[in-house]
Amino acid sequence: MPILTPTQREQFETQGYVVVEGVLDAEKDFAPVLSDFAQLLDGISHALFFGGRIASAYEDLPFTNRFIQVSTESGLNLIQEFEISLPQSGVKLDTPIHACPAAFRLLTTPRLLDLIEDMIGPEIYSNPVQHVRMKLPKRAVATSGTYSGLISQVPWHQDNGVILPEADESKILTVWFPVTPSTLENGCLQVIPGSHRRGLIAHCPAQKGLTIPDGLLPEQKPVPLPMNPGSVLLMTSRTIHSSLENRTENEVRISFDLRYEPVGQPTGRPMFPGFVARSKAHPETVVKDAAAWEALWHQARTLLARQSDPTFNRWHAGVGVCA
């Protein structure tokens, strides 16, 4: 049963994005993952407290306040502990990855897959370019250390720009959804409507990660997209987007960004594992077991830990438009 209305489908085709409301359910779909995250943060907080790095384990604070407090006081970027992907450099045998059953259930939620099937057909592959983001208030992000778009603002880019050319023809759909309200103040996404029709634009390595140089950005006014939990943003891989700063004092914008594509197409990150999430033609190939998914990531981690960092994109600082 199609979920998109003809108007929504047309918006996706002409503007390169559409927000679909009421796809996910806060209680059924988000409560398990939030409860898992709370438990994880509890463990982290106690370990840091016992290690003398923070003054308390902050047991009484609600999740988001505790995340802010523990992050600020320890000066650590904690996001990799919650992440559902590996970092692009320096992977070690013990690099954390939290490919937990609650996240797997979210990635394979039938209503989400129904929506994706409506867009790309019934042979659905989960592309491994996927993240959990917990955007901290700007004031709470440690000023030292490497910039991380997983806890901070993300600059203008196309998702096609952050993967390898092998996937330029793959029909990758970006599926972004907030778990806590995503607002203008706490750093919602913004898109440039119609920008997907310009093809792939050059990206340059910058302090905040890969970004389209100002001179190559369309003049057009961006559209900010505040969203409530339950809503899902669909974007093409060429839609230019970014996210705003979190200017609040005490809010954390928690979101997932996932990607799906028809089975059999290159993912653009061959060193990371995807999986068949739904298949009418070959139902026996569908990965249904969260532990099997986690094992795929652990295998990838072992391989990556034994080699030097692979290449994740095609752009070079100091060359061409990046010079």
Ligand X SMILES: O=C(O)CCC(=O)C(=O)O
Q: Does 246 bind ligand X (CB under 6 A)?
A: no
Beta strand pairing call for 232-236 and 17-20: antiparallel
Which of these segments, 69-77, 99-107, 158-166, 271-279, binds Fe ion (CB under 5 A)?
Answer: 158-166
Do residues 259 and 70 lie in contact, with contact meaning Cβ atoms separated by under 8 Å? no
> CA dihedral in degrees (158, 80, 151, 153; nearest 10)?
-20
Q: Does 163 bind ligand X (CB under 6 A)?
A: no
Of the pair 41, 201, the CB lying nearest Fe ion is at 201
Contacting ligand X (CB under 6 A), which of 108, 126, 243, 267?
Answer: 243
Which among Fe ion, ligand X, none contacts residue 251 (Cβ within 5 to 8 A by kind)? Answer: none
Binding mask 1-20 for ligand X (x = CB under 6 A): --------------------
Q: Does 159 bind Fe ion (CB under 5 A)?
A: yes
Count of CB atoms situated within 10 Å of the CB of 21: 11
DSSP bridge pairs for 232: 20
Which among Fe ion, ligand X, none contacts residue 176 (Cβ within 5 to 8 A by kind)? Answer: ligand X
Q: How far is the CB of 159 from Fe ion (least distance, A)?
A: 5
Contacting ligand X (CB under 6 A), which of 23, 154, 167, 172?
Answer: 154
Which among Fe ion, ligand X, none contacts residue 255 (Cβ within 5 to 8 A by kind)? Answer: ligand X
Number of chain residues interacting with ligand X (CB under 6 A): 10
The residue type found at 213 is: P
Helix (H, G, I), strand (E, B) or coil at 146: coil
Q: How far is the CB of 154 from ligand X (least distance, A)?
A: 4
Of the pair 174, 231, the CB lying nearest ligand X is at 174
The residue type found at 49 is: F
Contacting ligand X (CB under 6 A), which of 85, 160, 170, 174?
Answer: 174
Do residues 81 and 44 lie in contact, with contact meaning Cβ atoms separated by under 8 Å? yes
Distance separating alpha carbons of residues 137 and 180, to the nearest angstrom: 14
Q: How far is the CB of 316 from Fe ion (least distance, A)?
A: 20
Structure-token pair, residue 123: 């042979």
Count of CB atoms situated within 10 Å of the CB of 193: 17
Q: How far is the CB of 49 from Fe ion (least distance, A)?
A: 35
Query: Which ranges in the chain belong to alpha helices (H)?
Result: 6-15, 31-50, 63-74, 101-107, 110-120, 290-305
Q: Does 257 bind ligand X (CB under 6 A)?
A: yes
Smallest CA-to-CA distance from 227 within 172, 190, 173 is with: 190
Distance separating alpha carbons of residues 25 and 10, to the nearest angstrom: 25
DSSP state of 311: P
Contacting ligand X (CB under 6 A), which of 29, 83, 159, 294?
Answer: 159
Contacting ligand X (CB under 6 A), which of 66, 98, 133, 196?
Answer: 133
Of the pair 29, 159, the CB lying nearest Fe ion is at 159
Distance separating alpha carbons of residues 245 and 247, to the nearest angstrom: 6
Helix (H, G, I), strand (E, B) or coil at 242: strand
Which among Fe ion, ligand X, none contacts residue 133 (Cβ within 5 to 8 A by kind)? Answer: ligand X
Which among ligand X, Fe ion, none contacts residue 243 (Cβ within 5 to 8 A by kind)? Answer: ligand X
Q: Residue 291 to residues 15, 82, 101, 296, 304: CA-CA distances in angstroms?
A: 38, 16, 7, 9, 20
Q: Does 83 bind Fe ion (CB under 5 A)?
A: no
DSSP bridge pairs for 19: 233
Q: Does 176 bind ligand X (CB under 6 A)?
A: yes
Contacting ligand X (CB under 6 A), which of 231, 255, 265, 267?
Answer: 255
| Angle, in degrees to the nearest 10, between helices 63-74 and 31-50 | 30
Q: Residue numbers of the site for ligand X (CB under 6 A)?
A: 133, 154, 159, 174, 176, 189, 241, 243, 255, 257
Q: Residue numbers of the site for Fe ion (CB under 5 A)?
A: 159
